[in-house]
Amino acid sequence: MKINVIYNKDITGYQKVLAETEDILNSNKIEFLTFELSEMQTYGDFTLVIGGDGTLLKAARFYAKDSIPVLGINIGRLGFLSQSGSNGTESVINAVINNKYVLEERLMLSSCDTTALNDFVIKGCNPARTSKFYLEINGKCVCDYIADGLIISTPTGSTAYGLSAGGPVIYPTLEAVTIVPICPHTLNARPLVVPSDEIITITASDKMISISADGTEPAQIKAPINIKAAGKKAVLAFLQKEGFYSVLRNKLHWGISPRPY
């Protein structure tokens, strides 16, 4: 096994976890190379990512082209996609070395020569007001929204911005795409779940719209835009002891009764 070790220098505390990771790999005589997030390269056949969810998303998109699995060691905030905090580094690496993990292929979306593992967020170019957005699927008119924007989300991203905007939680390996309006100026707009092989087209009342992939800096482009399933899927590694529903409970407190005073 050869391992890519990716770290995010912008997250406080990465030095300690990176040094521990390198020491463990060296002691187990595992070949590896270390790369800063902005300087990733393809070296190994497995990738360890030290950072938060944003770091893991970027690494997963990068290594998807070669179908290289990615596993996160969280030193960010929520760490929804990561398998361990900084206190569990040794157990995570030992699990990887001993092949005690499972792999999941995750749908990604493509638009404007950009891919997203979580979501695309489309807004008007004037953040101080709502815009009118027109939604087509496979060339057929579906509806229009007066809203702050639209979130086009993968199942992986359904627990991110889409969830905060009132969208459904989708099991992460399903082949589906969720369309969630952001603050729609109506009482009857609801999220829409469609098959992943549909082509989603969005136009707007503004000539230019803002589009952001996985929370990156938005770009202003001319409408309309098309969003569809990407040609490659991200490959995420998870420890066998964890499951999607337990992560929902432990990190989002899903299904937990209120505590009595």
The distance of Cα 72 from the centroid of its chain, to the nearest Å, equals 12
Neighbours of 91 (CB within 10 A): 14
Task: Tell me the one-letter amino acid at 147.
Answer: A
**How far is Cα 71 from Cα 239, in angstroms, rounded to an integer?**
9
| 94's tokens | 């030992």
Q: Which of 53, 119, 148, 214 is catalytic?
A: 53
Q: Count CB-CB contacts under 10 A for residue 36.
A: 13
For 218, how many CA atoms within 13 A lie in the half-sphere containing its CB? 17
Residue 77 CA to residue 69 CA, distance in Å, equals 22
Q: Round to whole Å and give the CA distance between 238 and 261.
A: 36
What gap in Å lies between CA 61 and CA 41, rounded to an integer?
A: 12
The answer to whether residue 53 is catalytic is yes
The catalytic residues are 53
